Amino acid sequence: MLVLVAPGQGAQTPGFLTPWLDLPGAADRIAAWSDAIGLDLAHYGTQADADAIRDTAVAQPLLVAAGLLSAAALGDITPGAVAGHSVGEITAAAYAGVLTDDEALGLVRTRGLAMADAAAVTETGMAALLGGDPEVTVPHLEKLGLTPANVNGAGQIVAAGTLEQLAALAEDKPEGVRKVVALKVAGAFHTEHMAPAVTRLQEAAAGLTVADPRLTYVSNRDGKTVTTGADVISRLVGQVANPVRWDLCMETFQELGVTALIEVCPGGTLTGLAKRALKGVQTLAVKTPDDLDAARALVAEHS
């Protein structure tokens, strides 16, 4: 059974969209999406530097556009389940037919702008903790005033909070944690700091035309499968200010009988977690069009 997953913010790197624009029709699709949302995706995906694409209002639409473009390049496939990490849930929702691609890009543009505005209120950020026991790590983070914003499984938790709180964490790591790594994001996402963005997303979501998912859709709020479009959208909106439970998503993949996992562009983060947590499951990260043939072969073997 094949699972298709989409990465979240922080997966972007300068120039990562460049090779994809050589695919037939890709440049036209990116241009149309750019016009629709008022953001030059081609420029940011090919020419902008790391600081420019770290901007939440830029990174989020760029990631969804790249994810949809690369998923479409795989051809007409039917994975056993789809899921996304953080903003990748919008990619997954579009792939599952809950939203059209155009609606997904419009929604993620609103999401990125709203979260950027919320992040501007207080200087905040996120950091990944490598290693450690969640039963020890989570209380330690809470003691420092931090939120376990991403519980990713495979020995990784991402903490979020103010820069002062993150600095205190760097000086006082939980027992068993090997390393604290600052993430390429511009705010404390999936925490109470993002509450103002939820209201704006609710307003934007009210104008969407939503369909029920045509594929098994796994929500990163709690790892549950979601069967109605209305529930998918409700979770997408609320998830902005609540922790991502990717560990529970991977548990659900196992319960569904996953044998292979493909991560759409810019792949790497989620396949890395799967290699450690989903033993025996074949994984493939789609980074450039050169990876498409191997991905299609994996699809043929596991669909």
- Give the residue numbers annotated as catalytic, written as ranges: 86, 190
| 258 backbone dihedrals φ, ψ, rounded to 5° | -60, 135
Cα–Cα distance between 111 and 94 in angstroms, integer? 15
Burial class of residue 217, CB neighbours in 10 A (0-12, 13-18, 19+): buried
H-type helices in the chain, by residue range? 26-37, 41-46, 50-54, 56-73, 88-95, 101-121, 134-143, 163-171, 195-205, 229-238, 246-256, 269-277, 292-302
Cα–Cα distance between 226 and 88 in angstroms, integer? 16
Cα–Cα distance between 162 and 193 in angstroms, integer? 9
Count of helix runs (H) and strand runs (E) in the chain: 13, 10
Question: What are the CA-CA distances from residue 268 to residues 91, 112, 225, 255, 271 (Å)?
Answer: 16, 22, 24, 23, 5
Token pair of 60, please? 């989020």
